[in-house]
Chains A and B, each alone.
Chain A
Amino acid sequence: MGLKKFVATRIVTMFGVLMVTLLLTISLVGSNMDTILKQGVAYQVRTEITSDPTIASSFSSTEEFDAYIQNQIELATEVLGLDEPWYSPQRIGLTMYKILLLDFGNATFLTSDAGSPDVREIIFEKLPRTILLFTTATIIISVIGIFLGALSGSKVGSVVDRITSSFAIISSSFPVWWIGMIMIFVFAFMYQIFPARATPPIPASDPNYFFSLLYHMTLPLITIVMIGFGAWAYLVRNFMVGIMQEDFIMSKKVIGISKKKIIYTHALKNAAPPIVTILALSLSGSLGGAIITEAVFDWPGMGRLYFEAITVMDLPVIIGATYILTVFFLVSIFIADLLYGYFDPRVRTA
Chain B
Amino acid sequence: MSISPQEIKNEFVRSRVGIAGLSILGILILVSITAMVAIPSETFSQWNNPSNWISYPKVAIPVWVNLFLIEKIPEHKILQNPVEKIETSGDISLVSHQFGFSFDYDDFPNDFIYEFSAKYSGSPLLQISVIRPDGKTLNLVSTSLPYSNTETMHTERVFSTDDSIRKNLFLQSDEFDFSLNRLSAEDIVFAESNSHKPLKGNYLFIVNLYGVNSENQISDSTLTIGGKAFGIMGTDELRRDLAIGLLWGTPLALFIGIVVAIASVAMGLVYGVYAGYRGKKTDEVMMRFNDVIYALPALPFLIILSVTISNSIFLMIGFLTIFGWVGVAKVSRSMALQIKTRGYIDAAEMMGQKKSKIILRHILPQLLPYAFASIAISVPAAITTEAGLSFLGLGDPSFPTWGQILHDANVFGAASRGLWWWIMPPGVMIAITGLAFVFIGNALDVIVNPKLRR
Contacts and interface: CB of A to CB of B under 8 A. Distances in A.
A241 B423 contact: no
Given A174-B431, A178-B430, A292-B392, A188 B384 contact: no
Nearest to B298: A288
Given A156-B454, A169-B442, A175 B427 contact: yes
B254 interface: no
A81 interface: no
Given A28-B304, A28-B309, A174-B431, A182 B424 contact: yes
Interface in A140-184: 156, 169-170, 172-175, 177-179, 181-182, 184
B343 interface: no
A188 B415 CA distance: 8
Interface string A4-42: 000000000110110011001100110010000000000
Counting chain A CB atoms within 10 Å of each CB, the highest count among B291, B299, B393 belongs to B299
A322 B307 CA distance: 14
B451 interface: yes
A28 B434 CA distance: 32
B416 A175 contact: no
Given A172-B438, A184-B415, A313 B300 contact: no
Contacts of A134: none
Contacts of A326: 296-297, 300
Contact of A181 (B304, B384, B409, B442): B409
Nearest to A179: B427
Contacts of A318: 304, 307
Interface in A26-73: 28-29, 32
Contacts of A174: 427, 430-431, 434
Contacts of B301: 21, 24, 322
A296 B413 CA distance: 10
B409 A310 contact: no
B70 interface: no
Interface string B305-349: 101110000000000000000000000000000000000000000
A310 to B, nearest CB: 6
B260 interface: no
B420 interface: yes
Counting chain B CB atoms within 10 Å of each CB, the highest count among A175, A242, A306 belongs to A175
Contacts of B414: 181, 185
A190 interface: yes
B452 interface: yes
A322 B304 contact: yes
B370 interface: no
Contacts of A311: 393
Nearest to B451: A242
A181 B427 contact: yes
A242 B305 CA distance: 41
A292 B406 CA distance: 12
B400 interface: no
A333 B424 CA distance: 36
Counting chain A CB atoms within 10 Å of each CB, the highest count among B288, B388, B434 belongs to B388
A26 to B, nearest CB: 11
Given A169-B438, A173-B438, A291 B291 contact: no
Contacts of A329: 295, 297
Contact of B392 (A178, A188, A307): A307
Contacts of A28: 304-305, 308-309
A330 interface: yes
A346 to B, nearest CB: 14
18 contacts: A28-B304, A28-B305, A28-B308, A174-B427, A177-B391, A177-B406, A178-B406, A178-B423, A178-B431, A179-B427, A181-B409, A245-B454, A292-B299, A292-B391, A295-B410, A306-B300, A322-B297, A326-B300
Given A13-B288, A173-B380, A178-B406, 18 more contacts: A14-B295, A16-B292, A20-B292, A24-B301, A172-B380, A173-B384, A174-B430, A174-B431, A175-B384, A177-B388, A178-B426, A181-B414, A181-B415, A185-B420, A291-B299, A295-B410, A322-B297, A333-B295
